[in-house]
Structure 1
Amino acid sequence: MSAHGHVDLGHTVAGWTGTTLALLGFAGAGVAFCTAWLPGIVIGLGVVALAGLTTWLLHLAGWGKPSGPRPQADWDWRVRDTVAHSGHAGCLGCRAGGPRGAAAAAAPRPRPVAPLPVADSGA
């Protein structure tokens, strides 16, 4: 048993990857700030932004976790989320990714607009 008790802390590939990239970006920006190297600060903050984007894309690809507790069999960080292809209910990241899978098939499609009639010039 861990120091946190018998709970799912949500360690996932998306979480570990994003945290590592963000830590490297903040550390790089911090060192660049201490040396007053402006391009290094911008690069470091760019890596932080890349960490957020990478985490979100990995979550959409199924390497994150849905909100709430998971079954104990899915606690290992290498377990891929099999329902991520259709999006997690109530997940802001999945909603920002747009409709996918079954949700995309059920979404209403816009009707085609008929072209307007062309007025005859009478000439």
Structure 2
Amino acid sequence: MSLYDEGHTIAGWTGVAIATAGGTVVGLGVCTASLPVAGAGLAVVAVSVLVTWALHLSGWGKPPGVRPRGQWGMRVRDVQAREGHPGCVGCRLAGRGRKRPADAPASVSAPAPGAIPAESIPLSPIE
């Protein structure tokens, strides 16, 4: 068995179920040539994204990568959700995971972890 259990979460399965229903409604709208029905299906798909994001932020979604076996179960909440997951776009959009040094002013943010300074990037022969 793999150490990666991507998508085996309440947030993942709920989002897929709602998006599947929305995709079905979009297909029905296309088959019946009904723009309002297709638009309603697209709205349901958009709601699936918001519901998945909300569940992820509340701890029912887990970050990608290797986790201890005790956190593999679908009904196990993520303990890191409040701080934000490193490299997670959803957490960044919610304002989580942005840490500033204690001595830095509020308007200056710390560089991203793993960021390479611009002066250390080698230039191509043309430049």
Which bin holds the TM-score, normalised by the shorter protein? Answer: 0.7 to 0.9
Q: Deviations over 1:46-98 (max 9, x none)?
A: 00011111111111111101121111111111110011011111211111111
Match of 2:5 in 1: 9
Q: Is 1:56 aligned to 2:56, yes or no?
A: no
Cα gap change, 1:16 to 1:108, in 2 (>3 Å): farther
Q: Is the 8 A contact 1:8 1:72 kept in 2?
A: no
Cα gap change, 1:56 to 1:108, in 2 (>3 Å): farther
AA in 2 matched with 1:9 = D
Q: 1:93 aligns with which of 82, 90, 93?
A: 90
**Paired residues, number:** 105
**Structure 1 Cα separation of the partners of residues 17 and 99 of structure 2:** 32
Alignment gaps of 5+ in structure 2: 108-127
Q: Is 1:29 aligned to 2:26, yes or no?
A: yes
Q: Deviations over 1:9-36 (max 9, x none)?
A: 2300110010001000001110111011
Cα gap change, 1:19 to 1:108, in 2 (>3 Å): farther
Cα gap change, 1:44 to 1:6, in 2 (>3 Å): same
Alignment gaps of 5+ in structure 1: 111-123
**Structure 2 Cα separation of the partners of residues 82 and 9 of structure 1:** 16
AA in 2 matched with 1:93 = G
**Structure 1 Cα separation of the partners of residues 9 and 70 of structure 2:** 13
Greater per-residue helix proportion: 1
Root mean square deviation of aligned Cα: 2.2
